[in-house]
Structure 1
């Protein structure tokens, strides 16, 4: 894997809103090297909860590094995570994060697409882990999923949301229409910002 570059549509949208953008590869991805520590184990005994906490640990390291970058105002950081990174944002938000004012989940989950669309290892464990994260959530969130997400389809996304919020309306859930051949790619795909951009802009404005 390689980081998305600054000329990408995703980066340009946030830059256009006046934000500095930092793309970081977590341990074990691409040229970052090191051990891949985010495994959830086997499909038969998936531990999504602790896998997400490890992703969150690495997100916290990235957030801690941001103030060291010259000319960066790190007083109000936005953390956006996609897919496994999005799952990490749920775990991250279960911990205190005083410099992060906004947390956004784009198509979060783990264990999806096991040989075919919407086949997930132990989906009930994914829902249970989401519930545990939500019990100690420290800030509102925005969740965005496409209806034709081949990794985490509408019913599973809704179950995770319901478990995470447990009736708390501070988490905004946006289930957008189908996008391309697989809506799981919405965040980084060409044309995707026309869909998620206005949602994030409105959310940040609120």
Structure 2
């Protein structure tokens, strides 16, 4: 957790990590680094929580954030399952005296972004905005999605039916997990049925794989777009 100096209460941002590609890294070995992003938010007056979901890193419990096998992955249900852990962290942080429980922004990266959309679908109390960095499904390799792209897009549409708070989606030009055509297709499916403004931002290419811009890139790459988004949320009024 990171926080500004003072007693608050401050608005809250939760930064939620992704899931490693199958066979690349054990979940228990994950230690995602979002320090630069956390500092960016703290400098703007936010408390920042960066939790590890059950079954990742040193967290207790076992993995419970996906539904179905690779051939028949249910991304709608996976989003809802991932949201359970995120919502647990939100509820805990909302009880802290230095947090404004009415002003929570959920940032999700990759699989964590899928979970953030699950939070939006659930209508979690106090959540005023969603920041989606490169959300998607189970990417086995570039151009290969468990269950196929059509299933992923269809499940994003199902999630969109619950989208009732503002969201910003950010995907890099050279994202090798969810390439621009797929990212835009997921966005269009979601936006078509959402009940709140959903903004899409095309980020420039970053290093060899822009999927990790939020972790490894300079905050100047995404900061201006996110700052503009935050300026319209109740937490910044």
- TM exceeding 0.5: yes
Residues 15-30 of structure 1: pairs in structure 2 closer than 5 A: 15-30=42-57
Counterparts of 1:166-177 in structure 2 under 5 Å?
166=192, 170-177=197-204
Partner secondary structure for residue 109 of structure 1:
coil
Seen in structure 2, the aligned counterparts of structure 1 residues 143 and 131 have a Cα distance that, compared at 3 Å, is same
Q: CA deviation at 1:27?
A: 0.8
Q: Which runs of 5+ in 1 are unaligned?
A: none
- Give the number of equivalent residue pairs: 201
Pick 1 or 2: higher relative contact order, CA cutoff 8 A, min separation 6: 2
| SS across alignment from 2:171 | strand
**Coordinate RMSD, CA, aligned:** 1.6
Which residue does 1:188 correspond to in 2? Answer: 215
Question: How far does residue 3 in structure 1 lie from its aligned partner after superposition?
Answer: 5.4
Distance 1:35 1:21, change over 3 A: same
**Moved beyond 3 Å, runs of 4+:** none
Q: Which residues of structure 2 form unaligned runs of 5+? A: 1-29, 233-237
For residues 139 and 71 of structure 1, the distance between their equivalents in structure 2, rounded to whole angstroms, comes to: 24
Q: Secondary structure at the match of 1:108?
A: coil
Instruction: Establish whether residue 129 from structure 1 lines up as the match of residue 158 from structure 2.
Output: no
1:167 CA displacement: 6.5
Work out which of the residue numbers 146, 152, 162 in structure 1 matches 2:178.
Answer: 152
CA distance in 2, matches of 1:85, 1:144: 13
* Matching of residue 141 in structure 1 with residue 167 in structure 2: yes
Are 2:122 and 1:95 aligned? yes
Going from structure 1 to structure 2, the CA distance change for 1:99 and 1:167 (only over 3 Å counts) comes to closer
Is the Cα–Cα contact under 8 Å of residues 142 and 203 in structure 1 kept in the other structure? yes
- The superposition leaves residues 39-68 of structure 1 with CA deviations (integer Å, 9 ceiling, x where unpaired) of 233221111111111011111111111122
Determine the C-alpha separation between the residues in 1 that align with 2:121 and 2:183: 18
Task: Return the alpha-carbon distance in structure 2 between the equivalents of residues 189 and 3 of structure 1.
Answer: 10
**Going by fraction, where is strand more abundant, 1 or 2?**
2
Alignment of 1:105-120 (within 5 A): 105-112=132-139, 114=140, 116-120=141-145
Distance in 2 of aligned mates of 1:88 and 1:4: 18
In structure 2, what is the Cα distance between the partners aligned to 1:167 and 1:58?
A: 26
Residue 165 of structure 1: how far off its partner (Å):
0.8
Contact 2:161 2:193 in 1 (8 A): no
1:2 aligns with 2:31: yes
